[in-house]
Chain A
Amino acid sequence: MARTKEVTSFRDADIVLTDMDIITQGKNVLSRLVKELSSNSLLMVLNAITGINLRPEFTKELSTMGFTRTLLPISDGVAIFIKREYDITFFKKTIKIYRESFVYGPNPIDYNTAYFLYVFNKVHLARKKGATIEIKAGADSQHCG
């Protein structure tokens, strides 16, 4: 396991590791997170598959507060949230690539995979300027940096 430093302030944290029970039991945890979490830090919620089904308002609330979500089928589900920061150009380009993919291929990737790539790129590139991340999808590949 890579070495980490445990901190107590949400402002200083790169990663906040929690689960659905803690989020839903302590109401001020969520409001503190939304206010204090840095835009390049991520919230990792375990036990998310059943948790999100039982409490769908949780993700809706975070979404309206500017977070984007990816739900990964690892163990009982891992949801990762990060603050959305893309402009209209990014959104237009995404739709263009999605539409063209049906004509030229490759097939569009899953929503959660795409958002995980967004989260990973944002976290990585915010801390390592000039890094190149190569994403290979079928015969095509894209660079971002």
Chain B
Amino acid sequence: MSREDEVLPQGAVIDGARLEADVDEAFDFVVIGTGAAGAVAAHQLALRGFSVAMVEEGPYVKTRDFGPDVLTAFRTLMRDGATQAIEGRSFIPLLQGRCVGGSTVVNSAIAWRLPDEVSSDWSARFGLREVIDSASLEPHYDAVERDLEVSDVKEESLGGNNRELIAALKRRGIAWHPMKRYAPDCAGSGRCLQGCPTGAKKGMNVSYVPWALRRGARLFCSCRVVRADVPGHRATGVIATSKSGMRVTLRARHGVIVAASTIQTPNLLRRSGLRSRALGRHFQAHPGIGVAGVFDRPIGMDFGTTQGAETAHFRASDGFKVETISMPPELLAARMPGGGADLMRKLGEYPNIGVWGLQVRAEAEGVVKTGFGGRDKVVYSLTERDMQKARKALAFVATLMIEQGAREIWPGVHGLASAMHTVDQARTLESGPLDSRAYGFIATHLFGAARMGPDPKTSVVGLDFETHEAKGLYVVDSSIFPTNLGVNPQHTIMAVARLAAVRIAERAGKMRAA
């Protein structure tokens, strides 16, 4: 059990659910969001001697309270109880954490550095050379890796699902690797999605957030930011509402740092008065699909790292990545085809079932809008080329699973056989429908919608992380990324936020000295 989130400085955490009076306080910086970006930025600023307030819409759920029940986890840890969906040609469920630690509480803590070709693209097409590129990020990756003890998944915590994928890839002679993760002491509880019950996964809730608090930062959780206060094009603080209905005013002497995520940041900026035409545009994602299959031997998805093995062999050539994703029974039951007696028989085979997934580096771009009642609305449809990539990836994963000994797989494509048994059948997936409505996509990695760039006409945030429209209003999350990455983004989000915080702190330090 982690102690990191248990012993915190007295008075450092203000729980908005219990707040009984309005708050009005001043800090050097106010950081909105405590996910991968906000927590890292807040910690870095606190380390440098600035007074910092972190504001988080969700609650601070402690490690001791994480259970195996997915419904409870969805309700307490995820935005809208995990019912958010991208709207477009098809509905694509959109999973985002909404708690202290953000999505790092409910993801698999996978560490990938920015691929070189993406760094080159950002430099060449978006003018980010020496702003955000592989070289400038390197010391920040190094620091985060040291802090969070990034390491390969250990063999003893791999579990059957990961082992089967590795064996299948080895059989094919395809390069594979155990995931690099922020969970050096992973016990293989298979519960990354519900919140790590041992605290071994170093989500922000048990790392940078408590570390920042110990450096003097304060946390206002269960407080929803209504807007940043931007009089005369200069950010001076944040107005929030606590869950108990109190008004929380946090004034910022040096700046407001927005790290509310790709979906929430654009609308928060709009509510703060920004009117850039680029705001909300260029949203991108990595749509993913899982393939489940039943073997004649035990797999045991309830033990082992939830996502512990992968191959990036096809990332550059075909635009997809293959990885494991162990599913708890309730998610598998929802994902398996059909219903009735046949479904229950299949569910009875849970101990022998494995799930492998694919992520597509989609070229599609969407828009983040303000929907009815002020809700966040994302409109996004995959292109035909994206669908071709997805089909190819799906056929590959399905074929691999059957080659590895699955006696039946469930690819989940409407209009095709719900159960497949042979390699020839699996290969038919490559010529499956090009309509995204036929597939069960899910979106977890989100990018863009408040793009960084030198030109205020085409970007929202300047090369110094400050918005073009308001001084002292900074954005440091993945909404500033000009494109998606093709790999899991948490590591790059953290490194970029750290780099941004260092630069913002240097600038504020000079102002303070002057």
Q: Do A and B come from one complex?
A: no
Residues of B in contact with A (beta carbons under 8 Å apart): none
Residues of A in contact with B (beta carbons under 8 Å apart): none
